[in-house]
Structure 1
Amino acid sequence: MSLPALTIRPYEPQDCEQLLEIWLAASRLGHAFLGESTLLDQCAIVRDVYLPQAENHVALSGQTPVGFIGLLDCFIGGLFVDPAFHGKNIGRSLVEHVSPLKPWLELEVYAANPLAAPFYRKLGFREISRRANDDEGRPFELIRMRRDHPRET
């Protein structure tokens, strides 16, 4: 069964609940090491802080949100795809959609998430630094990655 055509559009407030469901499902896979209680606490922060403050782009399969990317200037604050749609180039499509809008893209991924860094490396990101603790001071190593915008020739 093929997917309806993928479209990407700016975030709309009515997307909030569906995007939170996508965020939580994807985070349970990629960030399970943080624990369910932490993920539920972070879900409220995503709802109350990150979605309202970020420049968000939503991927739709037909009319259904299946993923989103949130930018804070040139920093990818989050890229989340519904696990039921993993492997369908939705994450790649979101990155490629926002890439021309910025002179470069940077992000941080948990080293403990085995899929994140390899995914971004395939998209041309390179590691530029690491730090031992996350933003809350927990001992989870973060990898900072960057992709420069290709120069016009």
Structure 2
Amino acid sequence: MQNQSEQGESTLRNCIQRNQNQQSREIHRETLPKIVNQAEIILQVVRSDELIDRLTEVWRRSVKKTHLFLSDQEIGEIEKYVPAALLEVPTLVIAINAECEPIAFMGTAGERLEMLFLEPELRGSGLGRRLLTYGIEELGIRELCVNEQNPLAKGFYEHMGFECFKRTELDEQGNPYPLLYMRLTAKTAGESGNEAIDRLKIEE
């Protein structure tokens, strides 16, 4: 009998194999509630080459829409390090849609959120809140950092109960992109957050 981890890995592997020849499809706004409600969350999955490639694509599309202070060349340079970061982050959580396509992911290390990216069309859909709420309540996320030049992300984290406690002029690689370090200071509860947690399917 398969344990939960093996079941989750098998689900994801079958999904990737089923969709490896499919072209990504445009996400229409009217379908967002259905996509978010049907999204399956998988925790601590096997990090295959196929999965890493697909998550890197999600990262690229997300950054192009949200990190407007970065040039295409700069995004390309940073992207070189994304696969290694995805492989090395201690805890990786992904969301897949009904067609088994990765649409969002989150990485954590201890109490720190290291990464949270989703398909740009899904911004404002509730999927980011769903992932972060799980991270706070189940993985113990208490701290994160965000680019100061990404005000939408900063506003999202503030809405989720985080406050800035430190600012640096350079990012953690020494580049001139100021970072804001944020800490959870208010419990993120509420009916919508709890309902999101109830809908999660965790495979570990």
Which has more helix, going by share of residues?
Answer: 2
1:1-150 correspondence to structure 2 within 5 Å: 1=31, 2-3=34-35, 5-10=38-43, 11-13=45-47, 14-48=50-84, 50-54=85-89, 55-62=91-98, 63-147=100-184, 150=187
User: Which is strand-richer, 1 or 2?
Assistant: 1
Note if contact 2:95-2:105 (Cα within 8 Å) is conserved in structure 1. yes
1:85-118, Cα deviation, whole Å (9 max, x unpaired): 2221111111111222344421111111121110
Contact 2:42 2:93 in 1 (8 A): yes
CA distance in 2, matches of 1:114, 1:149: 20
Which one is further off, 141-150 or 86-95? 141-150
Q: Is the 8 A contact 2:108 2:141 kept in 1?
A: no
Q: Please, what is the CA RMSD of the aligned residues?
A: 1.7
* 8 Å contact kept, 1:107–1:146: yes
Q: Secondary structure at the match of 2:106?
A: strand
Of the structure 1 ranges 38-47 and 96-105, higher mean CA displacement relative to structure 2 is found in 96-105
Letter in 2 for 1:6: A
Higher CA-based Rg:
2
Larger relative CO (CA 8 A, sep 6+): 1 or 2?
Answer: 2
Question: Does the 8 Å CA contact 1:108/1:143 hold for their aligned counterparts?
Answer: yes
Amino acid at match of 1:75: R
TM-score, normalised relative to structure 2: 0.67
Structure 1 residue 149 displacement after superposition: 8.0
Mapped partners of 1:27, 1:91: distance in 2: 15
TM-score, reference length from structure 1: 0.88
Number of residue pairs matched by the alignment: 149
Q: State the 1:69 CA deviation.
A: 0.5
- Measure, in 2, the Cα distance between the counterparts of 1:124 and 1:33: 25
